[in-house]
Structure 1
Amino acid sequence: MLKVNNLVKDYVIDSDTVRVLKDVSFDIKDGEILGIIGRSGGGKSTILKVLRGMEPFSEGSFELDGFTVRPGATHADLTKLHKMTAIHLQRNFGLWPGAAYESVLRRLYAEKCGFEQLPEKDSPYYDELYQRSMEYLKLVNLDKKAEHFSAVLSGGEKQRLLIARQLAANPNLLLLDEPATMTCPATKQEVLDTIKNVNEKTGLKTLVVSHLPEVHSYMAHRVLWLEGGKIVEEGEPEYVLKKFLKKMKPIIPMPQRKSDKTMIKVTDLSKRYWLFRQGEVLDLDKINLEFKEGEIVALIGPSGAGKTTLLHAMDGLVYPDEGEIEFRVDDDWVEMSTYSPKRMDVRRITSIMYQEFALSPHSTVKQQLAYKLGVKGQNVVEESRKRAKELGISDKDLDELYRMTDMPEENSKEKLAKMGYTPAILGVLFPSYPLTEVMNYAKPVFEAVDLPLSVLDVKPYQMSGGENVRTALAIALASKPSILLLDEPFGDLDPITLRDVANSIKNINKTFNTTIVFVSHHVDFIREVA
């Protein structure tokens, strides 16, 4: 049995103490699946990390099958806790590159020798460990894929292989952080069926954190509702989920499209990716699409179908092998896969949000808006060309440097290094906007996403999870782009926050006539917004 008693967790950020867990108490009986639901940023994942020993805690204690952990636990205590628990963190695959059975075999061998490696086939342990690895694969319905390389497994199969690896550690408690989030409906069902089957066959007590009510209603025996670091409700799934969903705002109507003018044309686009030994792993073949001004379009499909690749090709972050992507700028068409001086104009009027979007925890919202306006503001292209000329940077290199302002930081660092630059060059070419002028841009955008202007002076850790998401959306819209591309940045939001975001997107579209193209696996969200 797991017993959690008055758990308190504090973070210190920029000399401020933020309490994220407030006297949390609950228990999990043997054979039980306990679910935790709550608003994004409410502390759900923090509980898992504390119970795994990944995060220290400030007050309280917890007891797992007679073993008690208190604040300031010793290294020996944490080592024991690691052996008694297994965790699968959100969006973390961490699989070995060989055959599926080898990932499980390595985990089993680590229980004997302390580190993950493949035992020699003439080892006295090999036959026994191989048989056990096949039993775990059968438990998650992967025994027929035992010889398949992990890289070629589907998203759902990878999740099931991870569960098999966790089971191989023979834990007393299984901790699951957002299982099946960011997956298509079929993949999600595969994973949920596996978790339920494992629980029924092994009796392993399981703690599942998920923002999706359907996950808990399908497999949880009990549900806790965590709000602002406190448990506000506990009980049967149907009872708790009904109370939780009462906080959803009503759906606002879809705005009417004002124009039939085409803004983006995709013609015969093809893009292929290959992996050594596995062959072709992605094939976009002769895609033809048109997007109208002020239209909201969803890209949906199974995991690995190429939705994100198509979106990144549209933004010029990746270039197609064949075909064209053209954007309307005034009365001209600009093709994105070949250089032209006008390509920077397309990048300026286009904004993108990624799956892994993150606000800087140490900067105020106003400072982050100022940075965005420095990259996407009205006269950025002309001013950056003047600075580039003074520095001896060609227009073509400037275009490539401007492309990097839309990339995640790690990707841009790598490409900058190849060009012989450090990230500092982006600040020189595209300096932040004056803070005194940010308010003029912020007011209409903040109204559209239903945020108070007081948010400008706070840092992200001082806001709720939902406010963080809408703030990131507001920053993406600060320069009033004509086109907004969303690469599933809302896939791991709770339904209440997601409704707020859906309403915000429709308000944005109505207010600014923004053309919006987004990737999502969330069918209900697509029905509301597209």
Structure 2
Amino acid sequence: MPVFIEVKNLTVDFDGLKALKNVNLKINEGEVVGILGKSGSGKTILMHVLRGTESFENISGEVIYHLARCEKCGYIERPSRVGQKCPVCGETLESFKADFIKLSLYDPVRKDITKRIAIMLQRTFALYGDERVLVNVINSLNEIGYKGDDAMKKAVELLEEVNLSHRMMHVARELSGGEKQRVVLARQLVRNPLLLLADEPTGTLDPMTAKLVHEAIIKAVKNYDMSMVLTSHWPEVIEKLADKAILLENGEVVQEGNPLEVSAVFMQSASMVRQDRNVLVGEPIIRVRNLSKRYISVDRGVVRAVDNISFEVKEGEIFGLVGVSGAGKTTTSKILMGILPPTSGEVEVRIGDEWVDMTKLGVDNKGRATKYMGFLHQEYGLYTHSSVIDNLTESISLDLPFELGVRKAVITLKAAGFEEDKAKSILPKMTDEMSEGERHRIALAQVLIKEPRIVIMDEPTGTMDPITKVAVTNSILKAREEIGETFVIVSHDMDFVNEICDRVALMRDGKIVDIGQPKNVLSQLTEEEKIKAAEEI
């Protein structure tokens, strides 16, 4: 591929301190270049120079963009398009060079180039915090001339591009850090960018969330045929995403080449902990501390339904509350959902980066969290004389035009385990025409289409036959894989939780007796509990 950007002898001086020293770098069209280095090595300064939207008082060298440009209307394209027709006016695109060091910050050509450069910065989200995700993207589209239905359709497409269509109706400030980064990416893709500058975009995210952001970035780079420059202090990120890498130390390039080789050199010079490649879940999203629920019974006196329990559930985790009937697991789940108030203790749910106290009433407390939580009862209630599409849209007052509601329904049914063709074919059918396993997946989709962050499922397998159980198991796993939902599974079906859960808490007489890997925890069931649990299935 042709050279897209040439950096020659680039030096940036701040009050006698050289942030960059004679940096030389070539970036080819469509190439992903990774920049490794410790904090203060010059990575971010290099990214800002490449971005070209700010001036530096003491800067020298060359930063040359090789482009195809239309002399008549000024339209610019990647260099491989030289000789092709301009999509705007039909003239021939000609070879063109622009040096950001020589061009004025206010030069029209420089401005045209910077408009085609997308940037993602670490924790700098620049979103309309009180607006919905969809509106955030629509606002960016409005700025470049999209209006009305065209803007909405394009915004939905962009959110699909970054795997965030399941959060389009959420308020931006209540997203997690990784989700905010993907909204930022969607807003940047509005530019139809030639270059993406990603400066530590996942530096403060947990591994699971970072993985989702990385997948969205790479998908966008391929779909938009972009070049990308990515900085990180984590070698795994560069190894996975970059075609080639450079290592910066004190503003100088000390190594360039294969990402694995550059990473190895960096590891020798940096004392750090490598990320665990096997981590699949994020930071805690539910925190329970010293939770109790007591009832007064005429026959039994004080009943301790939940007795001073504490646990955490991590984002993206499938967490099981297990035990025989009367153990306290269903009461615990209802307290988590805000259906029952606790007698004492703490229950907190993380919305975005903020913790919400579920024991306090009001729209700014419990009400803020419950709208992002879904509860699927064992006896779920579909509208049996309504079509699948009506169950998924009109029945929950989904505020989208019908065409987009259909698209949203299909996306959600896929997340619940249906193949796309099957999802489309069942939309006009009545739910009573579906099998039990299909109805359960539709019920799960009815919860997921409301875009919850947390889904609590009460005895999801009930009295199902083995084939239907497999379908339900796959639908939960698919939803976790597709949209990263967190599940709390309440069940006495020990085989089911052993197969599906990452961790389980075993409850007995209102207390948690153990938390850990399903196999280890379930081994502590007594023979009496095993027999009782089997009878209850």
Q: TM-score of the superposition, structure 1-length normalised?
A: 0.45
Higher RCO (C-alpha under 8 Å, 6+ residues apart): 1
Question: Higher helix fraction: Structure 1 or Structure 2?
Answer: 1
Structure of larger gyration radius: 2
Q: TM-score, normalised by structure 2?
A: 0.44
